[in-house]
Amino acid sequence: MEINRELFECKSYVNGQFVDCQSDIALDVLDKNTGDVLASVDLLSENEFENVMDSVVSGADRMKSTSAQERSQVLLRIAEQIRVKFDEIVQIITLEAGKPIKYAKSEVNRCIRTVEMAASEALVFAGETVNVDYDAGQNKSAYTKPYPVGPIICITPFNFPLNLVLHKVAPAIAAGCSVVLKPAPQTPLSALVLAKIIHNSGLPVGAFNVVVCDNDLAQRFVEDDRFKMLSFTGSDQVGWKLKSLVPKKRCALELGGNASVMIDGGVDAASIVDTIAKGAFLYAGQICISTQRIIVHESVYDNFKEALLTSTKSIVSGVSTNQETINGPVISREHLDRIHSWVTQAIHEGANLLLGGQVFDETAHIYEPTVLENVSHDSTVFKEEVFGPVVILEKCTSFSQGLQMINQSKYGLQAGVYTNSIQHMSLAHDTLEVGGVIMNNVPGFRVDGMPYGGVKDSGVGREGIRYTLEEMSEMRLLVF
């Protein structure tokens, strides 16, 4: 599979131009299946810092003069160009992210939906009339109007290299904000494709910038007071550290988790097990809401375990270009080694290895779909986010106990619950300390308009187009 190199420039995009690097440092972007270099992208120099800041500040000023209709039309043009370049963008995501090609197609379809929803929301997002006609406000009227928060620094991860970018950029455009985007170093090409698309969309110069840079320069951007908001998706360690550096800055953090799914007594294991296996092992478990813990009522535990092992054996592992692949490459050798070390540690601490536990393909960094049982709650693989194709089986004696087991985690992004009981559904919603409870489905369920985000160590704020617009806007009250 070849990528179309005319889709992107191998340079950062600042103030409406692809800027030449002032050093010889370049970032090699690898084909995650072979390790071959897809492209070498120039790293932005420290000398460009003020140029970037001047661009995003002037871009914010230009965005203030745009109408909602103009911003909506820009977004529709962006969506149309993604549609036109659909197959070529799929190829880039498949190779630079190692994402199975069917799932890469799903991502690009979601990108189109994300941008089109932002275009619609730009036309309807508004404040509200506020009743102040009492006490000191008698005979007065009031209403709120949203104003863009200002320049935003956006930092995105490798696993959805275009759609998670657009979950920040599209609402920012709709809200009238300017953006500096720092994409993941493993997957910058998708963001640079977007830069070329936006360059021809009619968006004001400076309103969108892409910086491919090292972490030190990225931190310098985060700390600059001219940015009014940080929108970050990535690890909890990095996210909370960045937030601590900017305590007065508005922050939206989506930091992942170790998502659980619970199976209640009376649920037919055979009817759900394939969905659960796919929810655990799709894209090598490199999704913030991939199923990591499976908690099963003791009355159906044995039947479910047998069915899960059978289903897991049918999961196709392989390179991302194979149409049948579900479990594809892990993003890097470093992550492959980390996953294996966590599994090995858990086994040494008493866990039962029911399936997998080995590297499937050294070259493509593919790890076997792995099922563990009796894992110590002190094991790293239990406490942290694996971000790999590993699931943990646990047994509960009651529905209430199962809910409490889910809540033991320091994370709280989403949880899935399978039950035949309306009462248990309501109890789960009331009890679970998560941002979303997904009934009779895996925690990995997401559509792009829903409020998405977590509690506890999983972050603050919500994504989902209208909800992101709220995060990126300030409601200003007028009383008259």
Q: Do domains 5-255+458-479 and 260-447 have the same CATH topology?
A: no
List Cα–Cα distances, 57 to 2, 153, 180, 329, 477, in angstroms.
Answer: 38, 11, 10, 39, 25
Q: Is 365 helix (H, G, I), strand (E, B) or coil?
A: coil
Cβ atoms 132, 141 nearer than 8 A: yes
Measured CA to CA in angstroms, residue 68 lies from 63, 301, 433 at distances of: 10, 54, 37
Question: Helix or strand or coil: residue 479?
Answer: strand
Residue among 9, 107, 121, 254 flagged as catalytic: 254
381, β-bridge pairs: none
Banded pLDDT at 295 (limits 50, 70, 90) = very high
pLDDT, residue 20, reads 87
CATH architecture of the domain with residue range 260-447: 3-Layer(aba) Sandwich (3.40)
**With 80 as the cut, is the pLDDT of residue 314 above it?**
yes
Dist. CA 260–CA 182, nearest whole Å: 30
225: which 2 tokens?
Answer: 């007071």
Task: Determine the average pLDDT of the residues in 365-387.
Answer: 98
Quick one: average pLDDT of 409-431?
A: 98
CB 281 within 8 A of CB 387: no
Does position 22 have pLDDT exceeding 90, yes or no?
Answer: no
Q: Provide the pLDDT for residue 120.
A: 98
Tell me which of 3.40.1380.10, 1.20.140.10, 3.40.605.10, 3.30.470.10 is the CATH number of domain 5-255+458-479: 3.40.605.10
Q: Residue 41: which H helix or E strand, with range?
A: strand 37-42
Structure tokens at 147: 């104003």
- Whether 455 shows a pLDDT value over 80: the answer reads yes
Which element (helix H / strand E) includes 262?
strand 260-263
β-strands 26-30, 37-42 pairing: antiparallel
| Nearest 10 degrees: Cα torsion 214, 219, 222, 223 | -150
Residue 35 near residue 362, CB atoms below 8 Å:
no
**3-state SS class at 352:** strand
C-alpha dist (Å) from residue 305 to 74, 150, 276, 354, 377: 51, 51, 12, 9, 20
Least confident residue range of 19-28, 339-348, 437-446: 19-28
- pLDDT at 23 (0 to 100): 67
**E-assigned strand segments in 240-301:** 250-254, 260-263, 293-297
- What is the Cα–Cα distance from 228 to 331, expressed in whole angstroms? 32
Taking the alpha carbons at both ends of the chain, their separation in whole angstroms is 63
Where does 278-418 show beta strands of DSSP type E? 293-297, 352-355, 359-361, 366-367, 370-373, 390-396, 411-412, 414-418
Q: How confident is the model at residue 1 (pLDDT cuts 50, 70, 90)?
A: confident
- Is the pLDDT at 2 greater than 90? The verdict is no
Pairing label, strands 250-254, 459-460: antiparallel
Query: Which positions ≥6 away from 458 have C-beta within 8 Å?
Result: 236, 254, 255, 256, 257, 411, 412, 413, 434, 435
Measure the CA–CA gap between 245 and 247, rounded to whole angstroms: 6
Helix, strand, coil: what percent of the chain each, to 5?
A: 40, 20, 40
Could you tell me which of 256, 257, 263 has the C-alpha nearest to residue 393? 263
Task: Report the DSSP beta bridge partners of residue 105.
Answer: none
For the stretch 65-93, pLDDT in tens is 999 999 999 999 999 999 999 999 999 99
Which of 258, 150, 147, 124 lies closest to 207 in space, CA to CA?
150
As a whole number, mean pLDDT of residues 112-118 equals 98
Active-site residue, 254 included: yes
Catalytic residue, candidates 10, 21, 213, 288: 288
Give Cα separations from 440 to 202, 301, 443, 451 (angstroms). Answer: 44, 17, 9, 19
Average pLDDT, rounded, for the chain: 97
pLDDT in tens, 218-256: 999 999 999 999 999 999 999 999 999 999 999 999 998
- Strand 370-373 versus strand 352-355 pairing type: antiparallel
Q: Global pTM?
A: 0.96
Domain extents in the chain: 5-255+458-479, 260-447
Beta-bridge mates of residue 392: 293, 372
pLDDT-derived band of residue 423, with 50, 70 and 90 as boundaries? very high
**Separation of alpha carbons 76 and 118, rounded Å:** 9
d(CA 388, CA 339): 6
Q: How confident is the model at residue 25 (pLDDT cuts 50, 70, 90)?
A: confident
Strands (E), 72-151: 129-130, 142-148
